[in-house]
Amino acid sequence: MNGSIELVAPPDRVVVVNTSYTVGGLPAHPMLVHAVVVLVPLAALAVVLHATWPAARARLGMVTPVLAVVATAFIPPTTAAGESLAAKVGGTARNPLLARHEQLGEQLLPWALGLSVVAIALWVWFRFDPLADRPTMHRAVSITLRMAALALAVGVVVMVIRVGDAGARATWSGIG
């Protein structure tokens, strides 16, 4: 079973997990990349708006943390599909541009996880306002959350751009 792993379940059944990462015979990585490229920057924008603009925060509500978590959830299957595709085209050992793309791609998940954590923290913070009776602490935590939100939003968008640029270079170098 090429591209599959057999897992032994109860004695009377065998579970087959597809690891080929294809959709309709086409590599899944280029399709999944589009979800990451759209959703991660959109989540970053929502986090910045949530952190800095009360009217947007009221309208966005729970959309911000949900969007950040969904965007982050697309990264592992996109990375796995990319590794599968890289193996099919000869691996990263023969192509330093592809190796760079893969290296940068692996660095995106920590940034997105951080963004998701801050998105959830912002929503909880502004929804429940746990330190409303302690103004000095409240201000310090609010500023810290906002600074973390801005830093992570910028960082994750920069990483998406860097990963995408490296992927485009790996794909299109030598063409044209």
Higher pLDDT, 152 or 8: 152
131-147 per-position pLDDT tens digit:
878 889 989 999 999 99
Strand partners, 122: none
- pLDDT class of 2 with cuts at 50, 70, 90: very low
Q: Provide the pLDDT for residue 14.
A: 54
Please give the Cα distance from 163 to 27 (Å, whole number). Answer: 18
Dist CA 6 CA 131 (whole Å)? 52
**Beta carbons within 8 Å of 89's beta carbon, 6+ residues apart:** 95, 98
Q: What is the pLDDT of residues 49-76, one digit of tens each?
A: 999 999 999 999 999 999 999 999 999 9
pLDDT single digits (tens) 21-50: 888 888 999 999 999 999 999 999 999 999
**Coil, helix or strand at residue 8:** strand
How is residue 128 written in tokens? 């429940």
